[in-house]
Structure 1
Amino acid sequence: MSKRVLVTGGAGFIGRNMIRAMLGDGYTITSLDNFKIGGWQHVPEDIRDHVEWVQGDTRNFDLLMQVTRHKEAVIHLAAPSSFLMYEEDPVGGASVTTHGFINLLEAMRRQDIGKLVYASTSAVYEGNDVPYREGMELNPPDLKALSKKWNEEVAKQYSERYGITAIGMRPFSVYGHDEFSKGGYANIISLFVWAVLNDVTPVVWGDGSQTRDFIYVEDAGRAFQTALERDLPTQEFNVGTGIETSFNEVLSLIGEELGKEVKKEFVEIPIAIYAQRLLANVERAEKVLGFHHEVDVREGIRRVIKAARGAQATQQWPAISNAQMYFETLPTG
């Protein structure tokens, strides 16, 4: 099992939670991150002094050659996490996702690093019928999904030509207790919890019947670590639960946990491309990877509520509690 690992995007939402578990399992970790979403202040104190943090961009090839030196494997998470980021900055989003990815693969080839686990996205499936299964024909509907699909194709080429084992992970709707750094880009569960705790009416796109396959961030991080540790050939895995939950159901669960009635404001969906349902087929993840989620949505919501209550005493809380209103700035075309 590889122990000297480079994690790109290690300060991000999935990264910092995954790194905490990996440190407990004896890994030596270098993290390359631009600290764009949230910044250094969101890196938990319990991991700050136990990781080599390098600030930089994956498009800097010379820097990648430095941070990959003497590493045994790489987990690649560095890329804009929300499709909204690509809507706002198409060139920048695609550049980081594609240029940074091929830079990394080339650095790994030159440094003779044989294992890569990287974040793709469940959005590559959109347009297919649910549940989404690995092996489906992919026709990405937006720039984020297209960029990630390109990554998957490049990863396969480097695997076939140079022997790098590249495991692509397709996360579904990842949420969790410490999404504060993401602000308006946070998962809808966090946005709803933050609003309700501040007596702000949750804003629901459409009629609330849309569903997501919500997976807790610690489960998602464990899936990446499991993929690193398994001796498997190049392939892709869904990172989900195989359970879909509607937005209306999420709000009902939040109300039950808080013991209060949750009112809703329904608005028209303000963007042109929007998935009504997201659901993972998890057979390959369970049978081949040996991964199964542990945290169900109700327990996950409890953890998000607990963390949010802890944040209510901080200076950042007013902005957090109104983060759901971010959608008002989106282009509507």
Structure 2
Amino acid sequence: MKAVVTGGAGFIGSNLCRALLKEGFSVTAIDDLSTGKKDNLKATRTRLVKGSILDRKLLAREFCGAQYIFHLAAIASVKKSIDEPALVSRVNTDGTLAVLTAAKEAGARRVVFASSAAVYGNLPGRKKETSPLMPISLYAGTKVAGEHYCRMFSNLHGLDTVSLRFFNVYGNNQNPHGEYAAAIPRFSCRILANKSPVIYGDGKQTRDFVHVDDVTRACILATKAKQLRGEALNIATGISITVNSAVKQISALTGKPNKPIHAPAEKGAVIHSSADTSKAMKLIGWKAKNSFMQGMKKTIGYYQQIVERGLL
């Protein structure tokens, strides 16, 4: 079977390509390499096509004969959505529409859309898929729009779609560099380099950190389930920890205690994140296998290599 992964040279996408290959899929990755890297796919049989999801001719050509489309390509940064809203809207919203249109025209069996926990905003309590969507950033708004497009294509055109609401994903191939870098690689690399990790805000904000191996397994299980007409599923561990606790656990794992530096909280950042994942178990038979410490033990070596090569 043929699978196409948009954003396939990125963090989650490259891990998904590897997982799909192990499942026996023929895999094509589409990536404009603005943040993705060719090296993320080295030593794999993934066919990498450099290009934009806004290029409809490219999508039509590459989707031909594909049974499953995994749409992960996006500008995945709250801060960048504040700095460059028009660009983020064009790539994330118009790009998703282009992917769905091309998938329908190619006769794809199912589209798996990478949504985000950000769609819930600062809604209090444990988030269920039936909870109100209250995005507080343009990035989150583009994910809400993408979910709606998926449901509409299912209802209007009979295209099977499912939106996976990824919570805070971490793991190998995650970039620790730049102002848009995610928290776990930034914390890990600074601690390993004997530098103080920088926490935005007081660190009491909570996150449900889910390892990328669990995320890619959810993506693959989403191809095996029965009809998923526009469903949305939380992909998380169901266990939240504070950012302060995450830093302490990473320090304990590395044996390098470091006192963090606190910086002003980021605009548009969610304060508390907690997920109910029972629907994912019911519909696709998925539950996270890795606790935060289990996942970090699998990942810390990757960050250690970055530090040792002087790439921090």
Indicate the TM-score class for this superposition, using the shorter chain for normalisation: over 0.9
Cα distance in 2, alignment partners of residues 183 and 18 from structure 1 = 23
Number of aligned residues: 311
Contact 2:195 2:258 (C-alpha < 8 Å) held by counterparts: no
Gaps of 5+ in 2: none
SS of alignment partner, residue 48 of structure 2: strand
Cα distance in 1, alignment partners of residues 186 and 308 from structure 2 = 18
Cα distance in 1, alignment partners of residues 208 and 305 from structure 2 = 26
State yes or no: 1:179 paired with 2:178: no
User: 1:61-210 maps to which residues of 2 (within 5 A)?
Assistant: 61-180=56-175, 183-210=178-205
Letter in 1 for 2:301: K
Which of 6, 11, 14 is the equivalent residue of 1:8?
Answer: 6
Cα distance in 1, alignment partners of residues 3 and 247 from structure 2 = 39
Cα distance in 2, alignment partners of residues 151 and 261 from structure 1 = 41
Query: Can you list the C-alpha shifts for 1:277-304, whole angstroms capped at 9, x where unaligned?
Result: 1111111012222111111111222233
Q: Which residue of 2 aligns with 1:46?
A: 43
Question: Cα–Cα, structure 1 residues 115 and 155, in superposed 2: closer, same or farther, change >3 Å?
Answer: same
Shift of 1:181: 6.7
State yes or no: 1:266 paired with 2:262: yes
Shift of 1:182: 5.6
Cα distance in 1, alignment partners of residues 177 and 60 from structure 2 = 29
Contact 1:203 1:267 (C-alpha < 8 Å) held by counterparts: yes
Question: Cα–Cα, structure 1 residues 182 and 35, in superposed 2: closer, same or farther, change >3 Å?
Answer: farther
State yes or no: 1:36 paired with 2:34: yes
Cα distance in 2, alignment partners of residues 44 and 9 from structure 1 = 12
Shift of 1:220: 0.9
Cα distance in 2, alignment partners of residues 221 and 83 from structure 1 = 23
Contact 2:208 2:240 (C-alpha < 8 Å) held by counterparts: yes
What TM-score do you get using the length of structure 2 for normalisation? 0.95
SS of alignment partner, residue 127 of structure 1: coil
SS of alignment partner, residue 120 of structure 1: strand
Q: Which residue of 2 aligns with 1:297?
A: 292
Shift of 1:273: 2.2
SS of alignment partner, residue 191 of structure 1: helix
Letter in 1 for 2:76: S
Contact 2:214 2:288 (C-alpha < 8 Å) held by counterparts: yes
Q: CA RMSD in A?
A: 1.6
Letter in 1 for 2:138: L
SS of alignment partner, residue 309 of structure 2: coil
Contact 1:203 1:264 (C-alpha < 8 Å) held by counterparts: yes
Cα distance in 2, alignment partners of residues 281 and 78 from structure 1 = 25
Contact 1:56 1:63 (C-alpha < 8 Å) held by counterparts: yes
Gaps of 5+ in 1: 321-333
